[in-house]
Structure 1
Amino acid sequence: MTPEVAVTGIALDDWLAQSQVFDYRGHQIRWWEAGAGEPLLLIHGFPTGSWDWHYLWQALAERYRVIALDMIGFAFSDKPRKYRYNLLDQADLQQALMQHLGIDRYHVLAHDYGDSVAQELLARHEASDGFLCSMCFLNGGLFPETHHPVLLQKLLMSPIGPLIGRRYNRARMARTFGNVFGPQTQPDERELDGFWRLIEFNQGPKIMHLLIRYMADRREHRDRWVQAMQATCLPLRVIDGAVDPVSGAHMVERYRQLIPNPDTVLLPDIGHYPQVEAPEQVLKHYLAFRQQRVDVTEEATTPA
């Protein structure tokens, strides 16, 4: 039985003060680390950053060595104007940080855009000697055929994408977030202020049309990623906000159709950001996953 654990948020200024920096291909990448024990890599989504995990950070750090970075083009990391942004490069970045830290094996908890980065890591894991221990997905486009992009994403993918990005502002962001959060778990003004700081830092809206190319990456690599999920022996779980119009219950239905022995948790009335909307529930179900699926598997495979 997983005990109930309280979650405590971290103010954005305090979060930023805890960051460190490392170099990736000549660019400065912000990253965070806390706790001790088995390494757990947290991978954020689009269009925000690793502050998305701030409600879960301290509780997870009491149990694991938690690590996160702002991917290139996101939040407080560099946002170069001339850069070939793609999901495979973001996976390279995650692996570069783990190599920088000397970590050979780790668990992954991912969300949204980060789910696709995690899928690429899983495909690499399956094609190698293996470096992952478990993987847990929150709401994300695991299957392009079930991903329902919001209007902003569609416009950014269009020929007028650069113009849309330049005109993106806090009010438009608030409307978009309001549409994808659950009706009873809407972000408050403090959270919206924080999300906007992540996006607008270093003129981030001007590169949003470059970042959005990840939707094409998902289509290109879909079969390889799904095959890796179908073939893996790695413990997998999906924790999903059911009323998310982008990747809610309809995505989980597809997951159950395609993935053998699917381990899924649907959170009623929760939208696209369960780690923000219902962090206690996410923590409860993630810890249960670790206790029931991961730790048991590791004990069974560890030589006596």
Structure 2
Amino acid sequence: MTTQKPADFPYPSHFADVLGSRMHYVEHGNGDPLLFLHGQPTWSYLWRKVLPELEGKGRLIAVDLIGYGMSDKPDIPYDIDDHIRYLDGFIEALGLDRITIVCHDWGSFFGFHYAHRHPERIKGLAFMEAMLNPIPGYDAFDPQTRAFFQTLRSSQANAERMMMDENQFVENILPAMICRPLERQELDAYRAPWTDRQSRRILCTFPQNLCIGKEPASVYRMQTAYIEWLGQTDLPKLLIHAEPGFLIPAPAVDQYRQQLPNLETAFVGSGLHYIQEDQPQKIGQAIAQWMDRCGLHHHHHH
């Protein structure tokens, strides 16, 4: 990816050296950090219209996972443990503490897993279209989504055809999971990290590792461990949800109200999976108001 940022994403770029590679992030403001974590196949650009609503609430940091966005693409397998190591390294490199995590999709997996391991560093957790209870089986999906995952996971050749040759996550799934049509330059901003076919091999990993019916077992263990912890910790939590949603439809919201202590919920209107593209202002305002109510935005000067 060129370091030319899209015109509609004016936040200054920064790079952290992590394990010999550069991880890209945007940063603005000061105080205790809000760490924004994206998932597949997006990057910090996803948060561009959410961030302005949180001005004054702390040090806003939106990072690109290793291999994603404007971060480097080192020659690593991009398995789940790789992402965990690089995100751990990023948080260490910036010396982040008293963190409010704002997360989505696979970013929520890594955010929850980090919080579970470092609860003393976390002030609160805000999440949307997040990976909470593991998906019980392929039957939980609509027929189209089920076919997508079953085909992709049936062979590496299928995964590479769908992700590398056809670039399906960027060209098909992303626009299909947003209610409004993306502008040409917006779609181009999501295409930009993935213009080279070989680099798109990275995109095979997350759909292959999404926990469906307890598989892969290693992901299932991590996910069940953090969801169990989330069900016990009194850390402030905010579940932001849209209608109809995708990973977290309305019936699931009621379930999580029972399951997760100290949980507030905020309904932001219509949206599918990438709800930051449909309701960014409402998402940002919901987080800001939740932080005010929980007293999460007070500055602590060390």
Give the TM-score of the pair, scaled to structure 2: 0.82
Q: Name 2:176's counterpart in structure 1.
A: 179
Counterparts of 1:97-112 in structure 2 under 5 Å? 97-112=90-105
Give the one of 8, 29, 32 matched to 1:35: 29
Q: Distance in 1 between matches of 2:104 and 2:170?
A: 18
CA offset digits 1:3-50 (Å, max 9, x no partner): xxxxxxxx6257488222222222222122111122111111111111
Q: Distance in 2 between matches of 1:84 and 1:192?
A: 24
- Are residues 292 and 148 of structure 1, via their aligned partners in 2, closer, same or farther at CA, if it must alter by over 3 Å? farther
Aligned length: 283
Q: CA deviation at 1:80?
A: 3.6
Greater helix share, structure number? 1
Q: Name 1:226's counterpart in structure 2.
A: 227
- 1:212 maps to 2:207: yes
Q: CA deviation at 1:52?
A: 0.4
- 1:290 maps to 2:286: no
SS of residue matched to 1:115: helix
Counterparts of 1:67-216 in structure 2 under 5 Å? 67-86=61-80, 88-126=81-119, 130-145=120-135, 148=141, 150=145, 151-159=147-155, 160-169=158-167, 173-182=170-179, 185-200=180-195, 203-215=198-210, 216=216
CA offset digits 1:72-125 (Å, max 9, x no partner): 121221224542420x44343333223222333211111111111111012113
- Are residues 192 and 153 of structure 1, via their aligned partners in 2, closer, same or farther at CA, if it must alter by over 3 Å? farther
Runs of 4+ in 1 over 6 A off after TM superposition: none
* Matching residue's letter, 2:202: I
Greater strand share, structure number? 2
**Further displaced range: 207-216 or 157-166:** 207-216
Identity of matched residues, %: 23
SS of residue matched to 2:50: helix
Q: Structure 2: 5+ residue runs without aligned partners?
A: 211-215
Q: Structure 1: 5+ residue runs without aligned partners?
A: 1-10
- Are residues 65 and 175 of structure 1, via their aligned partners in 2, closer, same or farther at CA, if it must alter by over 3 Å? same
SS of residue matched to 2:271: coil
SS of residue matched to 1:269: strand
**Further displaced range: 214-223 or 41-50:** 214-223
Q: CA deviation at 1:58?
A: 3.1
Give the TM-score of the pair, scaled to structure 1: 0.81
Q: Distance in 2 between matches of 1:220 and 1:71?
A: 22
